[in-house]
């Protein structure tokens, strides 16, 4: 059976089963094809990064059947309701504060307190599938990292197959629903700060249409005033406790985070092992939840053992370096 299949009741059932099992499904939206995974499943989220070969964990957009479902996981304000009413379903992504009980895995928002949500314009059949996933389906564009975004199912297939001999292990299905009408990515607007609406990415909905609904100008993301504004660092997750990278031991006032082998860290006040099997994908899936748990204990520091650079190890190390830099005293 080839990976690419026309959208039908049978293939949609298979897609839903695959997503429930933590596997990935590529699907059409009005913008580009997305590489989707169950937002509630940490391993599925890690597999998205693995499959794309992304060297970094950038936060992902969660896709929902309707605004009610989207706003059940984040905290909308009046601006969000107005934009949703005007543009959903459609190519507009809103970044909003996560609800305290947000069911989306922290890796999907790269450990941030915000989550990007969108209601895409999809076929009624795929919308019904989306409605079955309360945490939504997280999906970046369905292309290997650094390649062009795919606007057809053929692009998705060619993109992933050209990289290697076999289809990526966790990609179960490419649901072929024809070419994407917009062919441009969604416009991303950050509403997470009251009083400031920020344009994070230009896309298929033009800035002036959004400003007309808001009755307010969007702040460009490149505005130098924004770059130096407080809160800028919040776009990279940083724990409260300082991180000590590539540690080999830990003292009793420190918590420890190790990749797979806890030897040397016995003295730590608390220990998290990311992957006892030594899998970087499993470690990525566990990373943010483990950091949040250790940080909540209020240790003097978090000693982090070395993480190999294979597979998702590069992205894990990148994220740890940023977290360490973010928590350094100024």
Rounded to the nearest 10 degrees, the angle between the axes of helix 78-87 and helix 207-214 is: 130
Instruction: Dig out the tokens for 261 from the structure.
Output: 């082998």
Q: At its nearest, how many Å lie between ligand AMP and the CB of residue 192?
A: 7
Q: Which helix (H) or strand (E) holds 49?
A: helix 42-52
The burial class, CB within 10 Å (0-12 / 13-18 / 19+), for 58 is exposed
Q: Does 93 contact Mg ion by CB under 5 A?
A: no
Q: How far is the CB of 201 from Mg ion (least distance, A)?
A: 10
Residue pair 113/75 in contact by the 8 Å Cβ criterion: no
Among 36, 140, 159, 168, binds ligand AMP (CB under 6 A): 140
Stretch that binds ligand AMP, among 56-64, 156-164, 168-176, 209-217 (CB under 6 A): 56-64
- Which of 18, 141, 280, 327 touches Mg ion by CB under 5 A? 141
- Among positions 44-83, residues that touch Mg ion (CB under 5 A) are none
Contact set for ligand AMP, span 188-227 (CB under 6 A) = 188, 190, 200-201
Neighbours of 75 (CB within 10 A): 16
Separation of CA 17 from chain center: 21
Residues pairing with 92 in the sheet: 187
Answer whether 35's CB lies under 8 Å from 47's CB.
no
Q: 116 touches which of ligand AMP, Mg ion, none (CB within 5 to 8 A by kind)?
A: ligand AMP
**102 HSE (CA, 13 A, CB side):** 27
206: exposed, middle or buried (Cβ count in 10 Å: 0-12, 13-18, 19+):
exposed
With binding defined as CB under 6 A, does residue 153 bind ligand AMP?
A: no
- Taking CB under 6 A as the criterion, the residue among 69, 95, 104, 218 binding ligand AMP is 95
Residue closer to ligand AMP (CB basis): 105 or 272:
105
Residue 53 touches which member of ligand AMP, Mg ion, none, C-beta under 5-8 Å by kind: none
Binding site partner of 15, from Mg ion, ligand AMP, none, Cβ cut-off 5-8 A by kind:
none
114 binds, among ligand AMP, Mg ion, none (CB under 5 to 8 A by kind): ligand AMP
144/312 Cα distance (integer angstroms): 14
Q: Nearest 5°: CA angle at 321, between 318 and 322?
A: 90
Question: Least Å distance between CB 140 and Mg ion?
Answer: 5
Pairing between β-strand 92-97 and β-strand 114-118 as defined by DSSP bridges: antiparallel
Q: Which is nearer to Mg ion, 141 or 197 (CB)?
A: 141
By rule CB under 6 A, what count of residues binds ligand AMP? Answer: 19
Q: Does 58 bind ligand AMP (CB under 6 A)?
A: yes
Residue numbers of the site for Mg ion (CB under 5 A)?
A: 141
Query: Which residues make up the interface to ligand AMP (CB under 6 A)?
Result: 58-61, 93, 95, 109, 112, 114-116, 140-141, 185, 188, 190, 200-201, 235
């Amino acid at each position: 059976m080839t990976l690419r299949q026309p959208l039908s009741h049978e293939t949609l059932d298979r897609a839903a089963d695959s997503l429930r099992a933590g596997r990935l499904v590529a699907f059409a939206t009005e913008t580009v094809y997305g590489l989707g995974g169950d937002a509630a499943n940490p391993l599925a989220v890690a597999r998205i990064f693995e499959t794309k070969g992304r060297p970094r964990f950038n936060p992902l957009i969660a896709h929902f059947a309707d605004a009610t479902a989207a706003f059940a996981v984040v905290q909308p304000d009046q601006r969000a309701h107005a934009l949703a009413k005007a543009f959903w379903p459609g190519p507009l992504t809103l970044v909003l504060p996560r609800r305290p009980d947000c069911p989306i895995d922290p890796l999907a928002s790269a450990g941030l307190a915000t989550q990007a949500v969108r209601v895409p314009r999809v076929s009624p059949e795929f919308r019904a599938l989306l409605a079955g996933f309360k945490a939504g389906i997280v999906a970046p564009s369905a292309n290997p990292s650094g390649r062009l975004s795919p606007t057809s199912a053929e692009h998705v297939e060619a993109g992933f197959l050209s990289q290697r001999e076999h289809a990526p292990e966790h990609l179960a299905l490419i649901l072929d629903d024809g070419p994407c009408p917009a062919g441009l990515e969604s416009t991303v607007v950050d509403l997470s700060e009251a009083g400031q609406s920020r344009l994070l990415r230009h896309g298929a909905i033009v800035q002036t249409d959004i400003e007309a609904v808001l009755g307010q100008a969007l702040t460009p993301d490149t505005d130098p005033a924004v770059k130096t504004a407080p809160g800028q660092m919040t776009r990279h997750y940083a724990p409260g406790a300082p991180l000590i990278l590539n540690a080999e031991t830990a003292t009793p006032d420190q918590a420890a985070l190790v990749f797979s082998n806890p030897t040397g860290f016995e003295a730590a006040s608390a220990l998290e092992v990311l992957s006892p099997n030594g899998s970087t994908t499993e470690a990525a899936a566990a990373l943010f939840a483990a950091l949040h748990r250790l940080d909540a204990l209020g240790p003097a520091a978090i000693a982090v053992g070395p993480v190999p650079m294979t597979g998702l190890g590069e992205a894990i190390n990148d994220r740890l370096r940023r977290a360490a830099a973010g928590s350094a005293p100024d």
